[in-house]
Structure 1
Amino acid sequence: MGMLIKYDLKGNFKKFFIMLMIMAILNIALLLKVNAGSNGMNSIFAGLLVTLNVVFNFAALLICLNDFQRELYDDRAYLTFTLPVNGKQIIGSKVISTFIWLFITAALSVIFILMLLGGTGEINFSLLKINQNIVMQIIITLVYMFIDSFIFICLAYFAMILPKMANLNVKLGKFLGGLIFIGLMVGLTYVNVKICVVFPKEMVINSVSGVSVRIPASDGMELFLVTGKETMINIAGFIYSVVLSVVLFVTNSYLVENRLDIK
Structure 2
Amino acid sequence: MFKLVKYELRANFLTIIGSCIVVIIANLLLMTQKGTWSSTAILALSGCLIIGSVIVIFIASLKIMSKYLHNDSGYLLFTLPQSGKSIITSRLITALIQISIIVIVSFFMSYLTVANKIDFSFLGDLKPGLILYSIVNYVWGIIYFLTIIYFCMVIGKIALKGKKLGKIGSFVIFIILSIVISWLSTKITILLPQNLNLSDFSINTANALNFGTTASESAFNINIAAAIFDIIIFIGLFMTSSCLIDKKLDLS
Query: What's the TM-score once normalised by structure 2's chain length?
Result: 0.91
Cα deviations by residue, 1:43-102 (Å, 9 ceiling, x for unpaired): 111111012202211221111011110221111111101111111111111111111101
When structure 1 is superposed on structure 2, of 187-196 and 137-146 the one drifting more is: 137-146
Per-residue Cα deviation, 1:20-60 (whole angstroms, up to 9, x for no partner): 21121112222332x3335xx11111111012202211221
Q: Give 4+ residue runs of structure 1 displaced > 3 Å after superposition.
A: 224-228
Name 1:256's counterpart in structure 2. 245
Q: Residue 201 of structure 1 contacts residue 235 of structure 1 at CA under 8 Å; is this kept in 2? A: yes
Q: 2: CA distance between counterparts of 1:149 and 1:72? A: 21
The answer to whether the 8 Å contact 2:20/2:106 transfers is: no
Alpha-carbon spacing, 1:193–1:103, altered in 2? closer, same or farther (3 Å): same
Q: Distance in 2 between matches of 1:158 and 1:226?
A: 37
- Which of residues 117, 120, 125 in structure 2 aligns to 1:130? 125
Alignment correspondent of 1:194: 187
Scaled by the length of structure 1, the TM-score of the pair is: 0.88
Tell whether the 8 Å contact from 1:200 to 1:221 is kept in structure 2 after alignment: no
Report deviation, 1:137: 1.4
Counterpart position of 2:19: 19
Q: Distance in 2 between matches of 1:79 and 1:227?
A: 52
Deviations 1:138-157 (A, max 9, x none): 21222123222212101111
Q: State how many pairs are aligned.
A: 250
What is the match of residue 236 of structure 1? 225
**Deviation at residue 127 of structure 1 after TM alignment:** 2.1
Distance across 2 between alignment mates of 1:201 and 1:116: 41
- Counterpart secondary structure, 1:203: strand
Gaps of 5+ in 2: none
**CA RMSD of the aligned region, Å?**
2.0
User: Gaps spanning 5+ residues in structure 1: where?
Assistant: none
Match of 1:153 in 2: 146
1:4 deviates by 0.8
The answer as to whether partners of 1:225 and 1:231 remain within 8 angstroms in 2 is: no
SS at match of 2:222: strand
| Corresponding position of 1:4 | 4
Tell me the residue number matched to 2:80.
83
Check whether the contact 2:42–2:114 (CA below 8 A) recurs between aligned residues: no
Superposition pairs for residues 159-198 of structure 1, below 5 Å? 159-166=152-159, 168-198=161-191
**Partner AA of 2:48 in structure 1:** T
The answer on 1:36 being equivalent to 2:31 is no
